[in-house]
Structure 1
Amino acid sequence: MSESLNNANKTIAKKEELVAELRAQLNNFRLLAVVVIMIVTISTWFFHVVEKWDWLDSVYYVVVTIATVGYGDYTPKTDIGKIYAICLIIVGIATFGFFAQQLLKRQQLRALERQLGRTEKKKQT
């Protein structure tokens, strides 16, 4: 009985340690969200001005490009637009991937916290 209680306490301690680690990693989540919003906003403005696309087409192109969908219905015609699009693809893939990873970690954290909450309730009874 004492050994199983000790094992349960070790498991809880490990999970709490993991939650603390995930929390530390998620501190940059808000900053990352701001960076993504800035990339989309600046890039939308760029394509609106340089390629002379309307605002909706510009934001549509930026989101499709960052998400690596690439329908091909809009393509930059100017050289500077093409160069910017290449940079947007590189930065967008990295940022989008990191953002998706942070979202997944956030879900894992919530699941662990729920599980720890249940474990704590069982431990108290």
Structure 2
Amino acid sequence: MKTCLVVDDSSVVRKIARRILEEIGFAVIEAEDGEQALEACKKSLPEAILLDWNMPVMDGYDFLGRLRRMPGGEEPKVVFCTTENDIDHISRALNAGANEYIMKPFDKDIVSAKFQEVGLIDQSMSPASA
């Protein structure tokens, strides 16, 4: 089973993301900020990371830069999941190594589609084909 690290300072967002990700076949690990997320990645790199931008301690952008510099840190597929929707934020995230970008609020269809686009799930697992 693939693992997804959900990094968000909102317990509600983490709970919603966990429910969606478990429905599409992922084991879920949670972190409240980038620092906790880095510690989790040092223990075991997940296949996927659903990453918020604005968090205390260490934001998603700083976390992403540090992740990509870690040994093996280029491997996880990172999907930014944030309310930041201006083109500057999106291009900064993608240039820093994010694989995709989704807006809050999100639902199962959106998460499934983005995870499919980056190769984390195959088409047979997407809601449209179910």
TM-score normalised by length of structure 2: 0.25
TM-score scaled by structure 1?
0.26
More helix by share: 1
